[in-house]
């Protein structure tokens, strides 16, 4: 018959004190602080089409969850083996829209692991350094980024005039695609600007033989 003493001396209750309360509080507060820092860097450096606030919140939660998992693993060897088996069945189906999002997810998980392992200076200074690097490289001048120009014109002569104009007013001009129907050409150019000024697209739209001209920001991730 199980007695009260057997219940109190069970291995399950013994694990309650395996991680001290101060250690848990410090680890979670640090995880929240660094997760918030990662979120702010993500918000500052985001260059995609639609910013997702929920993904930023996920970065904070991921840092704290990783810390909790590693705290539990480091306090019990048997639990660590069970945790590996439990996490191996988890499958994530959410699509990653921006390649850089993978970096932020991995950064959040890594910071949580390093914090729970007790390497607090490494987690703090490593995060600050990574944040500075990401902010520095995300703040390049806009005219160094490629653009896509979609132009509709009426024929070969207008096309040659367009090429001459674009080469004179841009750093580079590369034809990406060309669609032709009777009496109309649709041209897609990848261009890089000399300056931030995009008024040249107005001049192209006003050219004889051009029916429309569109300039679209292009991050270069999806090459045709």
Q: Could you give the number of structural domains in the chain? A: 2
Strand order in the sheet with 184-193: 170-181, 184-193, 147-153, 210-217
With 90 as the cut, is the pLDDT of residue 126 above it? Answer: yes
pLDDT in the model for residue 223: 40
Q: Quickly list DSSP for 90-132.
A: --------SHHHHHHHHHHHHHHHHHHTT-HHHHHHHHHHHHH
Q: Quickly list DSSP for 121-161.
A: HHHHHHHHHHHHHHHHHHT--GGGS-EEEEEEESSHHHHHH
- Rounded Cα distance between 140 and 10, Å, is 60
Let me know whether 113 and 23 are in one domain: yes
List b or e across 156-178, with b for residues whose CB sees 16 or more CB atoms inside 10 angstroms. Answer: eebbebbeeebeebbeebeeeee
Let me know whether 94 and 190 are in one domain: no
Average pLDDT of 194-209? 83
**Could you list the residue range(s) of the whole structural domain that residue 44 is in?**
4-138
The values of phi and psi at residue 135, to 5°, are: -65, -40
Single residue among 90, 123, 138 that ends a domain in this structure:
138
CA angle 20, 111, 122 (to 5 degrees): 85
pTM summary value: 0.63
Let me know whether 50 and 133 are in one domain: yes
Let me know whether 101 and 8 are in one domain: yes
Q: What is the DSSP letter of 176?
A: E
Selected residue with higher pLDDT from 214 and 8: 214
Confidence of residue 194 (pLDDT cuts 50, 70, 90): confident
- Rounded Cα distance between 11 and 77, Å, is 13
């Amino acid at each position: 018959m199980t007695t009260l003493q057997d219940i109190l001396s069970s291995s399950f209750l013994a694990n309650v004190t395996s991680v001290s309360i101060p250690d848990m509080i410090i680890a979670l507060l640090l995880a929240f602080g660094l997760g918030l820092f990662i979120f702010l860097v993500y918000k500052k450096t985001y260059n995609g089409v639609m910013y997702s606030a929920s993904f930023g919140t996920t970065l904070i939660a991921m840092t704290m969850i990783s810390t909790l998992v590693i705290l539990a693993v480091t306090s019990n060897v048997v639990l660590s083996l069970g945790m590996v088996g439990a996490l191996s069945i988890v499958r994530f189906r959410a699509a990653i829209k921006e390649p850089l999002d993978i970096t932020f997810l991995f950064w959040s998980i890594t910071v949580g692991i390093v914090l729970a392992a007790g390497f607090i200076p490494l987690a703090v200074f490593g995060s600050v350094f990574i944040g500075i690097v990401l902010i520095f490289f995300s703040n390049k001048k806009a005219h160094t980024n490629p653009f896509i120009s979609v132009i509709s014109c009426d024929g070969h002569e207008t096309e040659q005039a367009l090429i001459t104009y674009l080469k004179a007013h841009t750093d580079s001009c590369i034809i990406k695609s060309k669609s032709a129907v009777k009496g109309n050409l649709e041209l897609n150019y990848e261009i890089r600007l000399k300056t931030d000024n995009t008024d040249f697209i107005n001049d192209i739209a006003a050219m004889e033989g051009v029916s429309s001209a569109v300039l679209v920001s292009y991050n270069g991730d999806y090459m045709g």
